[in-house]
DNA sequence: ATGTCAAATAATATCGATATTTTTGGAGTC
DNA sequence: GACTCCAAAAATATCGATATTATTTGACAT
C-alpha cells in the first residue's frame, strides 16, 4: 500500500514535506523552543511514517533548529538572548561580505531581479504575513545572491531563518508596525542600484541592528 | 537480533558511527568527489542497516560533504577551484572574527588550553598523519573557542573540514613538507598569548593564504 | 543504422515490526 | 521520611521487507 494519496501533488517526497512543515512549525513557534519532539507524536501530526520524520529532524539539526540529545531523541532548539545576539552579529558580518561582492559583480540582470523582488515584496505587504515573509526573504537573498558564493549564501539563509524565528517568538510574526521598514528597504535598493557598496551595506546593517535592538528589548535578560 | 557485537564499545550509535566513518572516507578522498553513494553499497561497506546509512548521509548533507539529488539518492560533494577559493575566503573572514573575540575574552584557563593543544600537536607530528590532523584541528579550534560563539565555531569547524579535504585530494594528506609550518604555528600562539589580536589574526590569515596558494597552484583551472 | 517506447532491472524511499535504551513508578530498606 | 533498587512502561534506534521511482535494456518501427 502506501499509495500516492495527495491530490495536490506538491510534495516531492514525504521526507521533504515533513522537513518543510516541521521547519515552519518551529520557525513560527508552533513548536516552542526546547520542546521535546517525539517521533510518534510528529508521526501522527504529519500523517507519515517514522522514517521521514527522523530524516527531517536530522536535516533540521543541521539548520540548528533542532537539537539531538544523546540517545534520547530530539527537541526544538532552545533560544536565548545570547544566541540572538550572536546571530545578529554573524548576519551583519556575512551579509556585509556578500552584499559587497554582489555589487562588485553587478550587472543589468541582477538589477532587474532586485527591482522585481522589491516590487513583489511591496505588493505582498498587502497580503498576509506569510506572503510578506517569503517575499521579504526573497528580496534580501536577491541582494546577496550576485556574490556567486554558494556557501556564504547558505549561511546567510540559515541565519536569516534563525533570526526570523525570534521575530515570531517576540511579536507573533510582525514587529514591523513601529518603524518605516519600507523606507529602509528603499534606501538599500537605491544604493545597490547605484553600485554604492558602502552606502548599501551601511543601510543594510542599520536595518538589522534596528530590528535587533527592538527584539532584544523585548526579551528577558 | 541486531545485538551489540562491537568489542570496542566506542561507537554510541550505529548512525553516529556510520556518520564518522563516511565523513572520514569523504574527507580523505577514499570516496572521491562526485561519486555516487549507493545505500546498498555503503550498507555492505559499513556493515550496518539502511536506516543508519541514510541518516548519516542526511547529516553529511548539511556539512556540505554530500549532495542529495532529487529522488535519485546521494553523492559525494564535487570539488572545484572556485569552491576552494570561497572556502578560503570565508575561513579568513570568520576565523578573524572568532580569534579577535577569543583574545578579547582571554583568561588564564584559555591560555593553558592553548599551550596544551600546541604541545600535543607538536608531539603528534612524530606520529602518523591521522594523529597530526586531529591535533592540528584541535589547536586551531582552541584558538577560536574562547570567542564563546557556538554558531561561529560551528561554521569554522565545517569550513576547516571542507578545506582539509582539498589538502588530502591535492597531496595525499600532507602538503606540509615544503614550508615551516611549525614556525607559523608558534607565531600565532605567541601573539595569542600576548593578547595581540592584530598580530595573531595576521599570522593566522597568512598561514591560511600560504597553504591556499600552494593548493590552488596544484589544481587545474 | 537510429530513435522511440515498453518491459525488466536496479536503486531509492517508506513502512511496519523488533530490539535497545531511557524514563517512570513503586516496593523495600535505612 | 528520604533514598536506593528493581520492574514496568514508554520512547528511540534499528532492522527487514515492500512499494515507488529512476535507469537500463532490448525490441520494434522508421
A71 touches strand D (CB under 7 A): yes
Place A221 in a pLDDT band, splitting at 50, 70 and 90. Answer: low
Strand A66-68: give its sheet, edge to edge. Answer: A36-37, A74-76, A66-68
A40 touches strand D (CB under 7 A): yes
Which class in CATH covers the domain with range B81-218?
mainly alpha
Residues from chain A that touch B151, judged by Cβ atoms under 8 A, are 64, 83, 86-87, 90, 159
Q: Which helix (H) or strand (E) is B143 found in, with range?
A: helix B129-145
Instruction: Give the pLDDT confidence of A114-165 residue by residue, as tens digits.
Output: 999 999 999 999 988 889 999 999 999 999 999 999 999 999 999 999 999 9
What DSSP string describes A82-115? Answer: HHHHHHHHHHHHHHHHHHHHHHHT--HHHHHHHH
Name the residue of chain A whose CA is nearest to B98's CA: A90
Place B85 in a pLDDT band, splitting at 50, 70 and 90. Answer: very high
Q: What is the mean pLDDT of chain A?
A: 91
Q: Does B59 touch chain A (CB under 8 A)?
A: yes
| Bases of chain D within 7 A of a CB of the protein | 11-17, 19-23
Rounded CA-CA distance A192/A181 in Å is 17
What is the number of alpha carbons within 13 Å of residue A123 lying toward its C-beta?
7
B14 touches strand D (CB under 7 A): yes
Instruction: Give the pLDDT confidence of B155-202 residue by residue, as tens digits.
Output: 999 999 999 999 999 875 455 555 788 999 999 999 999 999 999 999
Q: Does A151 touch chain B (CB under 8 A)?
A: yes
- B56 or A219, which is more confident? B56
Length B200 CA → D15 C1' (Å):
52
Length A5 CA → D20 C1' (Å):
13
Average confidence (pLDDT) over B120-129: 91
| Bases of chain C within 7 A of a CB of the protein | 11-17, 19-23
CATH for A14-76 is: 1.10.10.10
Q: ipTM of the predicted structure?
A: 0.91
What are the structural domain ranges in chain A? Answer: 14-76, 81-218
Give the closest of B58, B83, B93 to A59, CB-based: B58
Asked whether the beta carbons of residue B151 and residue A13 sit closer than 8 angstroms, the reply is: no
Amino acid at each position: 500500500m502506501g499509495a500516492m494519496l495527495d491530490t495536490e501533488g506538491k510534495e516531492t517526497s514525504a521526507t521533504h514535506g515533513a522537513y518543510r512543515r516541521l521547519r515552519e512549525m518551529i520557525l513560527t513557534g508552533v513548536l516552542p523552543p526546547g520542546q521535546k519532539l517525539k517521533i510518534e507524536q510528529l508521526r501522527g501530526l504529519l500523517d507519515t511514517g517514522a522514517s521521514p520524520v527522523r530524516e527531517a529532524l536530522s536535516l533540521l539539526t543541521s539548520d540548528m533548529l533542532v537539537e539531538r540529545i544523546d540517545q534520547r531523541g530530539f527537541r526544538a532548539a532552545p533560544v536565548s538572548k545570547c544566541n540572538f545576539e550572536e546571530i545578529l552579529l554573524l548576519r551583519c558580518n556575512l551579509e556585509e561580505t556578500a552584499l559587497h561582492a554582489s555589487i562588485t559583480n553587478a550587472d543589468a540582470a541582477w538589477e532587474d531581479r532586485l527591482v522585481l523582488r522589491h516590487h513583489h515584496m511591496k505588493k505582498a505587504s498587502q497580503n498576509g504575513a506569510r506572503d510578506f515573509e517569503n517575499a521579504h526573504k526573497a528580496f534580501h537573498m536577491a541582494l546577496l545572491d550576485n556574490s556567486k558564493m554558494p556557501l556564504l549564501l547558505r549561511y546567510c539563509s540559515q541565519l536569516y531563518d534563525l533570526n526570523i524565528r525570534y521575530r515570531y517568538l517576540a511579536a507573533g510574526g510582525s514587529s514591523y508596525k513601529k518603524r518605516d521598514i519600507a523606507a529602509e528597504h528603499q534606501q538599500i535598493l537605491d544604493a545597490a542600484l547605484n553600485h554604492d557598496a558602502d552606502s548599501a551595506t551601511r543601510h543594510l546593517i542599520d536595518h538589522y541592528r534596528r530590528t535587533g535592538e527592538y527584539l532584544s528589548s523585548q526579551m528577558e535578560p
